[in-house]
Amino acid sequence: MRDCSKKARSREGSKINVFFLNQEQITDMNLILLGAPGAGKGTQGKILSDRLHIPQISTGDILRANVKNKTALGIKAKEFMDRGVLVTDDIVVSMVEERLMMNDCAAGFLLDGFPRNMKQAEALEAQLVRIGKGIGHVIGIEVDKKTLVKRLSGRRVCRKCGANYHIIFSQPLNMGVCDKCGSAEIYQREDDKEETIEARLVVYEQETFPLIEHYTKKGMYHAIDGTGVVDGITGSIMEIIGQRSNNS
């Protein structure tokens, strides 16, 4: 181990073990999940965050929490989100910059839905340089358009805990009641209405898709087939980041 090692914590059962990771290992756990709306970034992000003990930073979730709480940021963002277009870069960049400075990101983080265009990618890279970090892997979850539309139009979300369901692929055990928290408030996201889905897919093609080439050139991009079962996709991602899939 080198002297630049940083302290990180991992949970094993109820015990907390303190061990040391070197800078390279920490960078390996700085992850980006890239993919079109409905590709499964949120679904995989939650599982990976639990398994790897790193925070999932979903800009969409942070923005939705602001909308729900009617903060100034949320009121501004809602107008963009409801139309399926990107919220302005200054808002999301400063939101992520602030989040990455929190202590729980010390041993790694998983960005879900950020960066979403070149400007955001450059801002992220500049911040990571400033704080002596880097990106380990960019995982691109690739799914065909027909499947994306089916997933998004059928998605339902628990308003209370954010758990995701699908009217065909993954229904709650009791119709209309969240398996995770028991809430009866399962709703359809405003931007999952058909006309907004189309707008989001166009925005993805025009603004986010070019990031694949950007990260491919940097040797960081790994494409994953996102059309299989959830567990299989998680396994493929875990292999890429060098963790065994039963590592939990």
* Cα–Cα dist 55/99, whole Å: 10
Minimum Å gap between C-beta 87 and ligand AP5 is 4
Catalytic residue among 46, 64, 78, 116: 116
CB-based contacts of 119, cutoff 8 Å, min separation 6: 89, 93
Pick what 5 binds: ligand AP5, Mg ion, none; C-beta below 5 to 8 Å, kind-dependent.
none
User: Which of residues 40, 108, 136, 140 is near ligand AP5 by CB under 6 A?
Assistant: 40
Applying CB under 6 A, does 52 fall inside the site for ligand AP5? no
Applying CB under 6 A, does 41 fall inside the site for ligand AP5? yes
CB-based contacts of 220, cutoff 8 Å, min separation 6: 135, 136, 137, 138
Indicate the helix (H) or strand (E) that contains 246. Answer: none
Bridge-based pairing of strands 155-158 and 164-166 is: antiparallel
Site string for ligand AP5, 177-216 (x = CB under 6 A): --------------x--------x----------------
CA dihedral 226, 228, 229, 230 (to 10 degrees): -10
Residues that bind Mg ion (CB under 5 A): 42, 60
CA 235 from chain center: how many Å? 17
Q: What is the DSSP letter of 206?
A: I
Which residues contact ligand AP5 (rule: CB under 6 A)? 35, 37-43, 59-60, 63, 80-81, 84-87, 92, 113-114, 116, 120, 151-152, 155, 164, 166, 169-170, 191, 200, 229-230, 233
Q: Report, as residue numbers or ranges, the catalytic residues.
A: 41, 116, 155, 189, 200
